[in-house]
């Protein structure tokens, strides 16, 4: 029960942090809380005639606070207008799949929340300013007004920060680097610590035996969408408790429909509706992909930017080359990482989970797409061939024969048409004249 509640809370927090509105909403609450606190200070101590504090009257205070509030809400509108323009630029110039990372940018979210916080602070303080009356001494919160003036200057600084930051993150070099970094973080993510020492041939034999001995129960996807992530730890806990054999046929990044069989389960008689719901609760199907568990999504984004840059409509080979180099870095990290487990077992193999791990060939397929769009550009072809040679050298050095043989086959098909490559070492970069 505790694990289920913790899982639900973790899922909810993850969804909130990945949304655009949550962080700005939290930051914007800082304004009202600060205003209430400082107004209490003003009510308690009645601070007056102190150097560097506001020394005007209620009319001046109302004017200043009104100007700050009006200016900040105008700046907030300008910020969101710039954000929409940037989103359109990213979608049309690079790839629409990069929009999510921009919306999750913390600097953009904090700046947006900061504008609303200052706006709310100014309005709340403005509401408390009163002129003296016959039966009312009036109220002039000098500390709150002084802080409000400083927050107005902070709003201007936030606007400059936002413009500078936006100018940086829309550069293709920053976009490609950010995608590559996120992808390599996903590659380095640790796997669950269950036992997984079965050999591939032994696993294949076990699955064949299960199919021969009994027809499995089939688990279909409840809706159409992408497998965004799979909670392997919770899935293993459920399988271990019921001593089931589960062959998961999908992995993060796969698209499924309501007719897609996503798992085979043995023994079939032990699978009831409650377990089906429990199993589906560990498999997240969403409208969009997430790079956290889906390494192919990061590779896909880099490949899409390269393909669009190499298309005749854009014709930007330098951007294509940049993405190829980052793809090289990602695939070199893939080759260097330890082989990921695709089988987990426990209770003397009474419970086994077999999952689908994307093959290395699936990652290499993007190079074939890029090769198709090079249009005979020798500069791009040389970089593409050198990237494959560099990845092959890493696989050879690590004695990864399976990946090395696959890369050798790719290299044979990817040699550039000219003789320029022959004058270059296998892992060398482009000569200066080609840059």
Q: Which two tokens stand for residue 148?
A: 């409000």
Residue appearing with tokens 């509108």:
77
Q: What is the CATH number of the domain that holds 249?
A: 3.90.1170.30
Tell me the average pLDDT across 343-366: 82
Other CB atoms closer than 10 Å to residue 420's CB: what's the count?
A: 16
Q: 243 or 188: which carries more pLDDT confidence?
A: 188
Question: Is residue 194 in a domain?
Answer: no
Is the CA virtual torsion 292, 297, 303, 304 positive or negative? negative
Both 299 and 323 in a single domain? yes
Domain boundaries, position 78: 18-170
- For helices 378-397 and 401-414, what crossing angle results, to 10°? 160
pLDDT surpasses 70 at 284: yes
As beta bridge partners, residue 353 has: 246, 344
Query: Who wins on pLDDT, 242 or 432?
Result: 242
Last residue of a domain, one of 248, 263, 282: 282
Read off the pLDDT of each residue in 31-35 and give the average, rounded to a whole number.
Answer: 95
What per-residue confidence (pLDDT) applies to 416?
A: 54
Q: Which residues pair with 256 in a beta bridge?
A: 225
Last residue of a domain, one of 238, 253, 282: 282
Q: Identify whether residues 317 and 409 lie together within a single domain.
A: yes
Residue 110: inside a domain, yes or no?
yes
If asked whether residues 132 and 260 sit together in one domain, one would say no
Q: Which two tokens stand for residue 327?
A: 């793809």
278 lies in the same domain as 308: no
422 φ, ψ (degrees, to nearest 5): -65, -25
Total structural domains within the chain: 3
Least confident of 107-116, 147-156, 240-249, 313-322: 240-249
User: Residue 350 domain-assigned?
Assistant: no
Pair 143, 26 in one domain: yes
DSSP assignment of 316-363: -HHHHHHHHHHHHHHHHHHHHSPPPP-EEEETTTTEEEE-----HHHH
- With respect to residue 230, please indicate whether it lies within any of the assigned structural domains: yes
Same domain, 268 and 314: no
Choose between 108 and 432: higher pLDDT: 108
Judge whether residue 49 has pLDDT over 80.
no
Question: Is residue 226 located within the same domain as residue 265?
Answer: yes
Would residue 109 count as lying in a domain?
yes
Same domain, 208 and 96: no
> What mean pLDDT do residues 385-389 have?
92
> Do the domain assignments include residue 48?
yes
Note the pTM of the prediction, 2 decimals.
0.82
In a domain, 184, yes or no: no
pLDDT grade for 221, boundaries at 50, 70 and 90 = very high
Q: In the predicted model, is pLDDT for residue 11 greater than 70? A: no
Q: Are residues 42 and 137 in the same domain?
A: yes
Of 253, 282, 311, the domain-final residue: 282
**Same-domain check for residues 276 and 395:** no
192 within domain boundaries? no
Q: Are residues 109 and 225 in the same domain?
A: no
Q: Are residues 60 and 91 in the same domain?
A: yes
CB atoms under 10 Å from CB of 42, counted, come to 19
| Phi/psi of residue 286, nearest 5 degrees | -130, 175
Rounded Cα distance between 413 and 371, Å, is: 10
């Amino acid at each position: 029960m505790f694990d289920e509640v913790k899982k639900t809370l973790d899922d909810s927090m993850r969804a909130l942090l990945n949304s655009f509105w949550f962080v700005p909403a939290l930051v914007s609450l800082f304004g009202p809380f600060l205003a209430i606190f400082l107004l209490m200070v003003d009510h308690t101590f009645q601070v007056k005639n102190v150097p560097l504090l506001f020394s005007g009257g209620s009319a001046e205070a109302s004017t200043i606070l009104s100007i700050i509030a009006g200016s900040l809400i105008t700046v907030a509108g300008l910020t969101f207008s710039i954000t929409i323009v940037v989103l359109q630029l990213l979608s049309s110039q690079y790839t629409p799949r990069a929009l999510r990372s921009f919306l999750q940018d913390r600097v953009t979210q904090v700046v947006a929340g900061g504008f609303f916080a200052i706006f709310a602070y100014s309005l709340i303080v403005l509401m408390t300013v009163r002129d003296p009356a016959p039966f009312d001494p009036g109220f002039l919160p000098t500390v709150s007004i002084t802080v409000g003036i400083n927050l107005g200057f902070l709003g201007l600084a936030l606007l400059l920060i936002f413009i500078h930051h936006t100018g940086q993150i829309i550069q293709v070099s920053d976009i490609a680097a950010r995608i590559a970094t996120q992808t390599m973080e996903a590659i380095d993510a640790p796997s669950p610590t269950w036992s997984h020492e079965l050999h591939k041939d032994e696993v294949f034999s076990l699955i064949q035996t299960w199919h021969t001995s009994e027809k499995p129960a089939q688990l279909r996807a409840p809706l159409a969408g992408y497998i965004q992530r799979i909670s392997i730890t919770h899935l293993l806990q459920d399988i271990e408790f019921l001593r089931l054999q589960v062959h998961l046929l999908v992995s993060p990044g796969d698209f499924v429909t309501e007719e897609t069989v996503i798992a085979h389960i043995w023994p079939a008689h032990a699978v009831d509706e409650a377990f089906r719901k429990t199993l589906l609760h560990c498999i997240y199907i969403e409208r969009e992909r997430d790079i956290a568990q889906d390494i192919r999504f990061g590779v896909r984004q880099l490949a899409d930017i390269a393909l669009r840059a190499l298309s005749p409509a854009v014709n930007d080979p330098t951007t294509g080359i940049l993405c190829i180099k980052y793809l090289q870095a990602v695939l070199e990290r893939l080759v260097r990482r330890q082989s990921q487990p695709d089988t987990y077992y426990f209770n003397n193999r009474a419970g086994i989970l077999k999952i689908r791990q994307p093959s290395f060939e699936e990652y290499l397929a993007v190079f074939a797409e890029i090769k198709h769009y090079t249009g005979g550009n020798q500069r791009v072809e040389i970089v593409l061939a050198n990237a494959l040679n560099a990845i092959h050298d890493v696989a050879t050095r690590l004695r990864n024969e399976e990946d090395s043989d696959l890369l050798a086959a790719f290299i044979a098909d990817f040699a550039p048409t000219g003789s320029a490559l022959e004058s270059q070492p296998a892992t060398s970069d482009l000569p200066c004249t080609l840059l």
